[in-house]
Copies of this chain bind each other. A is one copy, B any other.
């Protein structure tokens, strides 16, 4: 009826608790005879260690370092910060402590500097948002050299070989954007718009574009024409004019698919210009997008739930470090569709 304890196993195998412990945890220093006796019992019964007792007893703390971009440079990174706080509240009970290190993706050496700090803090595990490919690869290699497990979120880099990756299927999200736009009966020109400071995320954006184009191609129609447009700096003073230029170049534009979280930039332009006839689909439920969803200048948002991503990252590292559980190598989160009428239901929930 009750759970089997180490003590029970010891009695059954006619050895001491210490020996059983050594066998279970492979600490060596056990004679063949004793090992056999214990394993025989272990094979017959299903021993499930009491995690409560384990954490209470060891009273060990685990330091997890998170390395990610600074919120100040992109509001996109606000959500993961909240996910981390939530995770610390939940797993603090098990001795898990989260320390966050922010880098500025715009600034040279910022990543390297913070990466150095992370390593100096000698963490038991690392959660990483590897948006700078080369730098992240070098950092991950150093972690591996120091036997520190690395979990990645948001950006998937095969070569980085993390213990686990948590993110979303970008290609599929591009397809979803196409479904959302075409189901509104668009015809004419559809613009795929990349708004990003640097080409750092280019792989991200390219995958989304590929998914989008694949879907349109499968529709096998000539009613729509898909073009790609890039605007590098949304912080640029001439941003409005650049958008102007875009719409002048494609006067029959019916829909715009913004591949980053910056749909609000376009929505703001459309509102000022009084253009309500353009379908706009973008990414991520961030503050700046909300009022435009409410006013229908953004018709749909694909929400990647980055908060959940970082939370799961810590959760996986906890499983790994504290509970010695197996964790999945890759986990893709659901692609949430947010429109005006289900916006509030997402905001209220957390």
Interface, chain A (partner B; CB < 8 A): 50-53, 55-56, 93-94, 168-169, 172-173, 175-176, 178-180, 183-185, 215, 299, 331-342, 344-346, 348-349
Does A299 lie within 8 Å of B183, measured CB to CB? Answer: yes
Report the Cα distance A175→B340, complex, angstroms. 10
List 9 other contacts, CB 8 Å, given A333-B345, A337-B339: A168-B345, A172-B341, A172-B342, A175-B341, A176-B339, A176-B341, A183-B299, A331-B349, A335-B342
Q: Which residue of B lies closest to A175 (CB)?
A: B341
Cβ-defined contact, B332 with A179, below 8 A: no
Report the minimal beta-carbon distance from A174 to chain B, rounded to whole angstroms: 9
At the interface, is chain A mostly helix, strand, loop or mixed?
A: helix
CA distance A175 to B169 in the complex (A): 29
Q: When the two chains form the complex, which single residue of B55, B169, B345 contacts A332, counting CB atoms closer than 8 Å?
A: B345
Name the contact of A334 in the complex, choosing from B56, B331, B346 (C-beta under 8 A).
B346
Q: List 29 A-B contacts (CB under 8 A).
A: A51-B93, A52-B56, A52-B93, A169-B345, A172-B342, A172-B344, A175-B341, A176-B339, A176-B341, A178-B341, A179-B339, A179-B340, A179-B341, A180-B339, A183-B183, A183-B299, A183-B339, A184-B184, A184-B185, A185-B185, A333-B345, A334-B345, A334-B346, A335-B341, A335-B345, A336-B336, A337-B337, A337-B339, A337-B342
Q: Which of B52, B175, B349 is within 8 Å of A52, CB to CB?
A: B52
A348: chain B residues within 8 A (beta carbon): 332
Please report the C-alpha to C-alpha distance between residue A50 and residue B57 in the assembled complex, in whole angstroms.
Answer: 12
Q: Which residue of B lies closest to A299 (CB)?
A: B183
Q: State how many copies of this chain the complex holds.
A: 2
Most B CB contacts (10 A, CB to CB) among A169, A183, A336 go to: A183
User: Closest 8 CB pairs between A and B?
Assistant: A176-B341, A337-B337, A335-B342, A179-B341, A335-B345, A334-B345, A175-B341, A52-B56
Residues of B within 8 A of A345 (CB): 168-169, 172, 332-335
CB distance from A158 to the nearest CB of B (A): 19
Nearest residue, chain B, Cβ from A52: B56
Residues on B with beta carbons closer than 8 Å to the beta carbon of A55? 52
Give the CA-CA distance A215 to B337 in the complex, in Å.
19
Residues of chain B within 8 A (CB-CB) of A344 are: 172
Q: How far is the CA of A74 from the CA of B57 in the complex (A)?
A: 47
A51 partner residues in chain B, CB cutoff 8 A: 93
> Smallest CB-CB separation from A340: which chain B residue?
B179
Min C-beta distance of A311 to chain B, whole Å: 14
CB distance from A336 to the nearest CB of B (A): 7
A326 to chain B, nearest CB (A): 15
- Closest B residue, CB atoms, query A344: B172
A173 cross-chain contacts in B, Cβ below 8 A: 342
Complex Cα–Cα for A339 and B169 (A): 15
Q: Which residues of B contact A184 (CB under 8 A)?
A: 183-185
Contact B337–A349 (Cβ < 8 Å): no
Bound complex: CA of A338 vs CA of B176, how far in Å? 10
